Amino acid sequence: MAKAGMARTRHLLLLRHAKSSWDDEALADFDRPLAPRGLKAAPRMGQEIARRGWLPELVYVSPAARTRETWQLASADWPAPLPQASFHDSIYGALANDLFALTRSAPQEIGSLLVIGHNPGLEIFAAQLAGPGSEADAVQSLEEKFPSGALARFEFEGGWNELRPGSARLTHCIRPRELG
């Protein structure tokens, strides 16, 4: 346990995969690629993350095609070396509880984590995480809709293993269409 006044502020970024394609009905859901709109939105969201200085130290990615593509495109313009990305089967089809468990298992030396996943689990996780001190506009935006390509940013004090519902401040909720 950290001494009083020694708590470390951590940052959690939740990125929903960019818009995916439904063109090929023969493809399994897991294998669906990004749609043209998603191919444009993912790099823009990555550039916004970099522009704001929110580059993560570690990235957890669903192994589905559309989340892997989102990661590749979002990080394409980031400075080297890129953060380590690890692919977690548990993110595909994850419920909020699964995402809490995964996030709580993050190494304690990591200060900033990005999770790239899917709805409805990611949106429910974000809504449950947002606690006192969250930005009202960001909360309202998240409650309205967490569309493909959207990013939610949280801050909290303490260790990853202490993350609980309502324990983080939602500071931003950014949708691709807001980036022009």
- In tens, the pLDDT along 29-60 reads 999 999 999 999 999 999 999 999 999 999 99
Q: How far, in Å, CA of 141 to CA of 175, rounded?
A: 9
Inside any domain, residue 1: no
Residue 2 binned pLDDT confidence (cut-offs 50, 70, 90): very low
Residues 6+ apart with CB under 8 A from 88: 60, 61, 62, 63, 102
pLDDT of residue 147: 96
Residues 6+ apart with CB under 8 A from 145: 175
pLDDT of 97 above 90: yes
Residue 6 binned pLDDT confidence (cut-offs 50, 70, 90): low
Inside any domain, residue 117: no
Q: How far, in Å, CA of 23 to CA of 108, rounded?
A: 42
pLDDT of 74 above 70: yes
| DSSP state for residue 61 in the 8-state scheme | E
Inside any domain, residue 17: yes
pTM for the structure as a whole: 0.95
pLDDT of 180 above 80: no
Inside any domain, residue 46: yes
Inside any domain, residue 35: yes
pLDDT of residue 3: 44
pLDDT of residue 5: 46
Domain total in the chain: 1
- In tens, the pLDDT along 121-153 reads 999 999 999 999 999 999 999 999 999 999 999
Mean pLDDT check: name the lowest of 6-20, 48-62, 88-102, 114-128. Answer: 6-20
Inside any domain, residue 146: no
Q: What stretch of H or E contains 128?
A: helix 121-129
Domain of residue 79: give its range: 9-111+124-130
Inside any domain, residue 63: yes
Q: How far, in Å, CA of 53 to CA of 49, rounded?
A: 6
Q: What stretch of H or E contains 129?
A: helix 121-129
pLDDT of residue 93: 94
CATH for 29: 3.40.50.1240
Inside any domain, residue 153: no
